[in-house]
Structure 1
Amino acid sequence: MSNPVEAQQGNANLCRHLVEAANTIPDHLAAAVQHSAGRSIDGLSYEEMDFQTLNRKSDHIAAALIHFGLTPGMKAVLMVTPSIDFFCLTFGLFKAGIVPILVDPGMGVKNLKQCFIEAKPDVFIGIPKAHIARRLFGWGKRSVKHLITVGGGRLINTVTGAYSLDDIVNNSRVDPQPFAMQLLNEDAMAAILFTSGSTGTPKGVVYSHKMFEAQISALKLDYGIKPGERDLATFPLFSLFGPALGMASIVPDMDASKPITANPDFIFAAIEKYQCSNMFINPALIERLGDAGSPVNHKIPSIKRVISAGAPATIGSIKRFSTMLNSDVEVLNSYGATEALPLSKIGSQSLFNTTDVTDHGGGICVGDAIEGVVIAIIDIDENPISQWHEALKLPANQIGEIVVKGSMVSRSYYQRDTATRAAKMTDGVATRHRMGDLGYLDDAGLLWMCGRKAHRVDAITAAGSMQRYYSIPTERIFNTHPEVKRSALVGVVVAGRLTPLVCIELDTTIACSKTNVLYQQLCTLAEQHSQTQGIIRFLIHPNFPVDIRHNAKIFREKLAIWAQKQIKE
């Protein structure tokens, strides 16, 4: 992937869409950010900005940063909470050709430090709390040359050694004319987005301008988003797509890294005030809002479209949430990953029709490929595959690793050559990405998810043959038991053999059977399905470890360690 400073000039820059919106709908709302004083809706206030102002201020910031000494091609860690400043600053960085590095604060201190070591940022831009953490934990101390703080006042700047963004802008004395944004080759590096680390060590995904353009096109064409809409944006990166689509981004007062802690009243208030037509939310928030709104018959009639991504949402949570929507509005479940998003989608009504297959171990249907995306299934293989050829493809209804091709597919990880070789292959023209997910394509071409490749259990039976168990098909069968809240397949070693074991988290809202009775019922259930035959070991765990963002991705690796300690051979 080319560095922007070295790349040939072209015509690509995400901000060209913002400029177009500023010229065509200048006075329309571009962004609004909700703030609260206390925990009641009485204390809510809102910052607002229109497209023309957002474009002008981001121009000013881009010019000021260049005047300050930043140069196109530099990499800047951005640790700023969702705010009007966040919008202006991020678009300013893109206009200046400075590469934002976006990390999830929820990934933990150790992972954050490793991200900084790998990304080697030239600039650290953050709120005061981020700068204090930077000094405390030594983030980026070997590479960072410029420190910029957003908010906090002069005392904070003195303590952290950073320059205030406000001072940089106010003292820049730059030309008030529109900033001549960097127009680059479509394959030039535009940003580095780190994966959350919920299924392994975080990796920096190199985003090109071509990828951003493909995502914008998908949201326009496949999801039907139109200029003038208003989006309830609960994920910082997606909130940036709003202004690029001519759509206002309404950011509620919540911790985006911990959506399960959001105050539903604040979110409902933002939707009502701005009559939002679109929502981009993850499964944790679907569950949170549905649990709050459904029992009191709350309605959100302005919503015309709900996009869910990040992890599979449960059928029950989607149904509860849907009671608040108009009857013709669906929850659109999207499949993808940081490396490639979106790839496929399925509406909730179609999804409801697949529940019987899912409950009987058929995996989770994630729908049709969106326009321009090619999905294939290959044999499960831990080795790198450098060249794609059609002979790798498995026939319909055969489970293997999901491989994708499309303009939104990333070409590499940043400074992770081994990971790039393991996940990428080329067909001579385009990059294909190995998702690390297992699944199959049915006869109609629909994609079904069967879990992570790393979460399968290849067990050796007493007869010496190998039996393979997949996480999603296995777990969904056991989840049909009325006393099971959720389950997790892990592998444990018993008498020198890798053996499947299912951890169970009980539904504490109901009275449960005695443990030995429950285990016997689960054994009987296992024998009724080919996907689970041979599973005879179960353990009850009080509270599964899950990722804080989605509250759905189970840390099976932690459960496997715990389960192994419980085994008495």
Structure 2
Amino acid sequence: MTKPSANICRHLQHAATHTPKELAVAVQTAKSSSLSYQEINFLDLHFQSDDIAYRLNDYGIKAGMKAVLMVTPSIDFFVLTFALFKAGVIPILVDPGMGVKNLKQCFEEAKPDVFIGIPKAHIARRVLGWGKSSVTHYLNVGGSRLQRWLSGAKSIDQLPKESVAGSYPMQLLERDEIAAILFTSGSTGTPKGVVYSHGMFEAQIQALKHDYGITPGERDLATFPLFSLFGPALGMASIVPAMDASKPITANPDYLFAAIEKYQCSNMFVNPALLERLGQAGEQTNHKLTSVKRVISAGAPATISSIKLFSQMLTPSVEVLNSYGATESLPISMMPSSALFDTTQATDNGKGICVGHPIEGVDIAIIDITEEVINQWDESLTLNHGEIGEIVVKGPMVSSSYYHRDSATAAAKISDSADAENKNSQNLVRHRMGDVGYLDTEGKLWMCGRKAHRVDSDKRYFSIPCERVFNTHPQIKRSALVAIEVNGETAPLLCVELKKGIVCSTSKMLYQELLEIADKYEHTKGIHRFLIHPDFPVDVRHNAKIFREKLSVWAQKQWKE
């Protein structure tokens, strides 16, 4: 029987041994338009996280406990997170942008033993009662003396530590043991706690090495806190810019460009909203990102126009790698920008968005669309190439369950006993992505939208294939297919957001042109109701995920036959 050996901090330990003085993390701070940077190398990050792990234990925080971590991107964030992993404490990572109501629900479900946060988070905790029924240990990070006092928590830098010789004895666990709980953003439904195993983290690290080609010594502009943790685990420095990671659209492009230039970043992780914002800024100043050799975009489909705009800053051989996946399973497939550009016509004709071939070790299947629970996988469930259905994935980075959400787990997971005899297999569960799409004859995956966003009327309409056809109209910024009820029957309706400067006085002619577009394609025939909306409601992180549920309610109130 093999001994437990899994812990993401093994990779930090390796970097601290082999490249101790190399930069591990740099955090940019902006004050009065002046930029400063705080740095830490791999050896110091390793030693400081050892020290904090000891202090956590001395305070009574032990392996197996769950700890909410609400700390802004900083050196402290990295030190604390790696200390928690080393001590076998399970971090609970939530997105502050999900809203107060959802945050409270997350804490009630996860039942954390420990609350670690900045003073602002602690004050909110005390006022709103977050984790009141379960938290026994409170730790404060940073802030002024008054803020620390108001937080009602012990400051982490004041924790005593017994005199202990040598490095911290890192907790080594089984690959299938829980490593962290990551809550989904809630942008496409109720936030759920995804159980991350140590094996999932290892699989993601391997994918970044092998499929994305990341090597030790690189420097990454890390605009998303979770991805930034993979930097030190890959021997890559994480450069954290001064921005609100929960609202990338508000980032100052000059700050990000300055960080890239200072550290000669070779890698960037950006979501579609930030990709577009940086591309627009770069076009205005003719800025070039000469050090960047790889751009990873994930979180939502980026538009081809925004990718082309951003790519003007890159050297011709550099790709924007568009990644498909979800919190429950990431990455699943990848599509280089050069190949994506070749699919523009197909996308505009309503074929969906091509998200590329599966990465190594991932199996993608398409099944009939159903709301029924599927307990056991069978190959007979799969549809043929070109048939649109629900996307189901299998691989070592696929989560096996949600935390304390049995009904959600049953709805999203399918047991696959095909590998049951292989004791080393991590692929015993398939995940239903909640997206619809199809596989082409070359094995590439095409995404056609969320399963919940389809409209079943006289025939079935899928969001992305329909919307992308109408989005080719020069006056339309974006559109959203929704369902309304007309005379007791479900009917499709297209909400339209116009580009800036387009006035509604042209709506009569616009509606006629949209009707002509609808009649041109078989999959859009039957859409003959249109409403102009001034500004679509979208999620704050990606600024791309349209809240179609809200638009549907609005459209129902607006529509009059």
Mark yes or no: TM-score above 0.5: yes
Structure 1 pair 65–496 and aligned structure 2 pair: CA distance change class (3 A): same
- Aligned match of 1:311 in 300, 314, 317? 300
Aligned to 2:399: 410
Aligned to 2:423: none
Aligned: 1:17 with 2:11? yes
Q: Deviation digits for residues 24-60 of structure 1, max 9, x if unmatched?
A: 000000000000112x3xx100000000000000000
Shift in Å at residue 510 of structure 1? 4.8
Secondary structure in 1 matching 2:457: strand
Secondary structure in 2 matching 1:345: strand
Aligned: 1:96 with 2:90? no
- Aligned match of 2:517 in 507, 516, 525? 525
How many Å separate the matches in 2 of 1:408 and 1:204?
16
Aligned-residue CA RMSD in angstroms? 1.0
Moved more, 389-398 or 422-431: 422-431
Secondary structure in 2 matching 1:11: coil
Matches within 5 A, 1:58-207: 58-168=49-159, 171-207=160-196
Shift in Å at residue 160 of structure 1? 2.4
Shift in Å at residue 511 of structure 1? 6.2
How many Å separate the matches in 1 of 2:107 and 2:3?
28
Aligned to 2:358: 369
- Aligned match of 2:440 in 439, 442, 454? 442
Matches within 5 A, 1:265-280: 265-280=254-269
Q: Deviation digits for residues 440-484 of structure 1, max 9, x if unmatched?
A: 000100000000000000013xxxxxx000000010000000000
Amino acid at match of 2:549: E
Q: Deviation digits for residues 269-301 of structure 1, max 9, x if unmatched?
A: 000000000000100100000000013210010
- Aligned match of 2:469 in 465, 477, 499? 477
Matches within 5 A, 1:193-232: 193-232=182-221
Aligned to 2:41: 50
Alignment size in residue pairs: 551
Tell whether the 8 Å contact from 2:120 to 2:151 is kept in structure 1 after alignment. no
Amino acid at match of 2:381: L
Shift in Å at residue 514 of structure 1? 1.4
Aligned: 1:389 with 2:378? yes
Amino acid at match of 1:519: Y
Shift in Å at residue 437 of structure 1? 0.2
Identity score, percent: 68
How many Å separate the matches in 2 of 1:417 and 1:157?
38
Shift in Å at residue 159 of structure 1? 2.4
Amino acid at match of 1:447: L
Shift in Å at residue 177 of structure 1? 1.2
- Aligned match of 1:240 in 229, 236, 240? 229
Amino acid at match of 1:494: V
Amino acid at match of 1:31: V
How many Å separate the matches in 2 of 1:90 and 1:365?
35
Tell whether the 8 Å contact from 1:409 to 1:433 is kept in structure 2 after alignment. yes
Aligned to 1:457: 455
Aligned to 1:264: 253
Secondary structure in 1 matching 2:277: helix
How many Å separate the matches in 1 of 2:559 and 2:531?
10
Amino acid at match of 2:500: T
How many Å separate the matches in 2 of 1:152 and 1:292?
33
How many Å separate the matches in 2 of 1:247 and 1:178?
23
Matches within 5 A, 1:323-342: 323-342=312-331
Secondary structure in 1 matching 2:542: coil
Secondary structure in 1 matching 2:84: helix
Tell whether the 8 Å contact from 1:344 to 1:370 is kept in structure 2 after alignment. yes
Q: Deviation digits for residues 342-399 of structure 1, max 9, x if unmatched?
A: 0000000100000100000000000000000000000001011010010000000000
- Aligned match of 2:491 in 472, 475, 499? 499
Q: What is the TM-score with the length of structure 1 in the denominator? A: 0.96
Amino acid at match of 2:434: G
How many Å separate the matches in 2 of 1:37 and 1:418?
47
Shift in Å at residue 14 of structure 1? 0.3
How many Å separate the matches in 2 of 1:366 and 1:67?
48
Shift in Å at residue 153 of structure 1? 4.2
Which runs of at least 4 in structure 1 moved beyond 6 Å after TM superposition? none
Shift in Å at residue 172 of structure 1? 1.3
Aligned to 1:344: 333
How many Å separate the matches in 2 of 1:58 and 1:19?
11
Aligned to 1:5: none
How many Å separate the matches in 2 of 1:264 and 1:119?
36
Aligned to 1:544: 536
How many Å separate the matches in 2 of 1:119 and 1:304?
39
Tell whether the 8 Å contact from 1:119 to 1:415 is kept in structure 2 after alignment. yes
How many Å separate the matches in 1 of 2:93 and 2:406?
20
Tell whether the 8 Å contact from 1:492 to 1:498 is kept in structure 2 after alignment. yes
Gaps spanning 5+ residues in structure 1: where?
1-7, 461-466
Structure 1 pair 298–512 and aligned structure 2 pair: CA distance change class (3 A): farther
Tell whether the 8 Å contact from 2:479 to 2:495 is kept in structure 1 after alignment. yes
How many Å separate the matches in 1 of 2:559 and 2:288?
49
